[in-house]
C-alpha cells in the first residue's frame, strides 16, 4: 500500500540546531570531545523557587484541565507585567492566551489570520520556524535581509519597498535569534509608521526581551500608540526563566483575534498544563535575582567570546546586544558557512550552526550559542583559531 502524507507536511521546515545536536551526540558516542554551542537554551537550571512552586502545584492537585486560554491569575500577572515593561495599561486578560511555549502562540496567530497568497515579511537570517509556517499555510515568504552594519536591523528603505497591498503580516524579533541584535527604538517607531492603520498584523516575538546588554530594555512596537489592534506579542518563560522544558509561553492578541485563538487551542492542546502555569506565576511574582544573575553571566560570556573571536584572522564579530548568540561574519576565511560549520564540528569538536540554517541571507555567518561556560567558550575559540590556521 503506498501511504501518502498530506502535501502540506512537505512544506514544513525544521530547526537546524536539533540536527547538529544529533550529529554532535553521535561523535561523542565515538569518544570525541565536543563543545556544544549549537543549542538555543539557557544552560542554567530553572530557579529553585519556580521548581518548588511546580512541585507544590502537583501536590495541591493542579493536575486537571484548566481554562482554555489559561489561568486568570497568570493572565492577570502578565497583564500587570505589560504595564511595567511596555507601559500598556489595563490589558484585558481575554487578550492573553497561555500556551505550551512561545511557538504555539506564534503558530496560532499565523493560522488565525493568514490566507493562501498573503505576503509575510520577516527577518532573514531569522528563526527558521517563521518561514516554515509561512510556507505551511501557503502564504508567500518575503524575507528581508538584515544589515550587519546596522547591528543586524533592517534596511528601512528595503522594508518600506517590500510592503505591498498583499502584505498581511510583518514579523519582528528583538532581541534577535540568531544575530543577538536589538532593533533600535527609532527603527521601531519608523516601522510602526509604515504599517499603522494598514491591514497588516505585526508579530512581535519578544522571547529574548529580558536578555539585553544595553542600558535600556528593548523597545516593543506594542508600546507604540495605535498599534494594539494590529500587534501580537509572542513571549514566554523558556529563555527568561530557563524553563524551556516546562513548555510555557503566551500570546497577547488584539481583541478581535482572541476568540479564533481560543478555538485553535480547543482544537489542539485544550489548555496548557495547570501545574506549569502555577510555576509561571511564581516566576513572575517571585524573586528575579537568579534571572538577573543569568543575564549578567551571559554578558560576561558575550564580552569574552566576541572579543576573542574578533582576534581570529578572517572572522568579524559584531558585538551582540541581546539574546545569547554571537553571529560572526566568516566570509574572509574563504570558506562557506556550511563547510566551516562542518569542519568545526568534525575537526575542531565545536558544534555551531551555519548561518544558512536561518535563511539564505545567513550565508557568510555562523551562529554560536553562549549557553556554555566561559571556559568552554574560550576553549572553543582556541580550537576555531587552530583549525583555521591549519587551512
Q: Which of 337, 340, 348, 350 is nearest to 377 (CA)?
A: 350
Helix H or strand E segment including 201: strand 201-205
- In the complex with ligand PLP, the residue whose CB is nearer, 179 or 306, is 179
CB of 16 to ligand PLP, least distance (A): 11
- In the complex with ligand PLP, the residue whose CB is nearer, 244 or 343, is 244
- In the complex with ligand PLP, the residue whose CB is nearer, 124 or 205, is 205
- In the complex with ligand PLP, the residue whose CB is nearer, 19 or 199, is 19
CB of 124 to ligand PLP, least distance (A): 13
CB of 113 to ligand PLP, least distance (A): 18
Q: Which cell is 129 given? A: 520556524
Binding site for ligand PLP (CB under 6 A): 40, 101-103, 127, 173, 177, 205, 207, 236, 238, 244, 249
- In the complex with ligand PLP, the residue whose CB is nearer, 27 or 43, is 43
CB of 51 to ligand PLP, least distance (A): 18
Q: What is the rounded distance in angstroms from the CA atom of residue 362 to the CA atom of residue 365?
A: 6
CB of 222 to ligand PLP, least distance (A): 16
CB of 106 to ligand PLP, least distance (A): 6
Q: What is the rounded distance in angstroms from the CA atom of residue 139 to the CA atom of residue 156?
A: 23
- Do residues 310 and 330 touch, judged by C-beta distance below 8 A? no
- In the complex with ligand PLP, the residue whose CB is nearer, 173 or 230, is 173
Q: Which of 120, 216, 132, 139 is nearest to 174 (CA)?
A: 216
DSSP type of residue 286: S
- Do residues 123 and 116 touch, judged by C-beta distance below 8 A? no
Q: What is the rounded distance in angstroms from the CA atom of residue 132 to the CA atom of residue 114?
A: 13
- Taking CB atoms, the residue at the shortest distance from ligand PLP is 101
Q: Which cell is 105 given? A: 502562540
Amino acid at each position: 500500500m503506498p501511504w501518502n502524507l498530506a502535501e502540506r507536511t512537505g512544506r514544513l521546515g525544521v530547526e537546524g540546531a536539533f540536527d547538529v545536536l544529533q550529529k554532535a551526540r553521535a561523535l561523542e558516542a565515538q569518544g570525541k570531545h565536543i563543545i556544544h554551542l549549537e543549542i538555543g537554551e539557557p544552560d542554567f537550571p530553572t530557579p529553585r523557587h519556580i521548581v518548588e512552586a511546580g512541585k507544590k502545584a502537583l501536590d495541591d492537585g493542579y493536575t486537571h484541565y484548566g481554562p482554555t486560554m489559561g489561568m486568570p491569575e497568570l493572565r492577570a500577572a502578565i497583564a500587570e507585567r505589560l504595564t511595567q515593561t511596555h507601559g500598556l495599561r489595563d490589558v484585558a486578560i481575554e487578550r492573553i492566551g497561555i500556551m505550551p511555549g512561545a511557538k504555539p502562540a506564534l503558530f496560532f496567530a499565523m493560522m488565525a489570520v493568514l490566507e493562501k497568497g498573503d505576503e509575510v515579511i520577516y527577518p532573514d537570517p531569522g528563526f527558521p520556524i517563521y518561514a516554515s509556517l509561512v510556507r505551511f499555510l501557503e502564504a508567500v515568504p518575503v524575507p528581508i535581509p538584515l544589515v550587519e552594519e546596522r547591528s543586524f536591523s533592517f534596511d528601512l528603505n528595503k522594508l518600506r519597498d517590500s510592503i505591498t497591498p498583499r502584505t498581511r503580516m510583518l514579523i519582528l524579533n528583538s532581541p534577535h535569534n540568531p544575530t543577538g541584535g536589538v532593533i533600535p527604538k527609532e527603527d521601531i517607531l519608523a516601522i510602526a509608521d509604515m504599517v499603522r492603520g494598514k491591514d497588516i498584523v505585526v508579530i512581535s516575538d519578544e522571547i529574548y526581551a529580558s536578555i539585553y546588554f544595553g542600558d535600556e530594555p528593548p523597545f516593543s512596537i506594542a508600546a507604540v500608540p495605535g498599534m494594539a489592534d494590529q500587534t501580537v506579542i509572542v513571549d514566554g518563560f523558556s529563555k527568561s526563566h530557563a524553563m524551556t522544558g516546562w513548555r510555557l509561553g503566551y500570546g497577547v492578541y488584539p481583541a478581535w483575534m482572541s476568540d479564533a485563538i481560543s478555538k485553535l487551542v480547543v482544537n489542539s492542546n485544550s489548555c496548557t498544563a495547570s501545574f506549569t502555569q502555577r510555576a509561571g506565576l511564581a516566576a513572575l511574582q517571585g524573586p528575579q535575582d537568579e534571572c538577573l544573575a543569568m543575564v549578567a553571566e551571559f554578558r560576561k560570556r558575550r564580552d569574552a567570546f566576541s572579543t576573542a573571536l574578533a582576534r581570529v584572522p578572517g572572522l568579524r564579530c559584531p558585538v551582540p546586544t541581546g539574546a545569547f548568540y554571537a553571529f560572526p561574519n566568516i566570509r574572509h576565511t574563504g570558506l562557506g558557512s556550511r563547510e566551516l560549520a562542518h569542519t568545526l564540528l568534525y575537526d575542531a569538536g565545536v558544534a555551531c550552526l551555519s548561518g544558512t540554517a536561518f535563511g539564505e541571507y545567513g550565508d557568510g555567518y555562523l551562529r554560536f550559542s553562549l549557553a556554555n561556560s566561559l571556559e568552554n567558550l574560550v576553549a572553543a575559540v582556541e580550537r576555531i583559531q587552530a583549525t583555521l590556521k591549519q587551512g
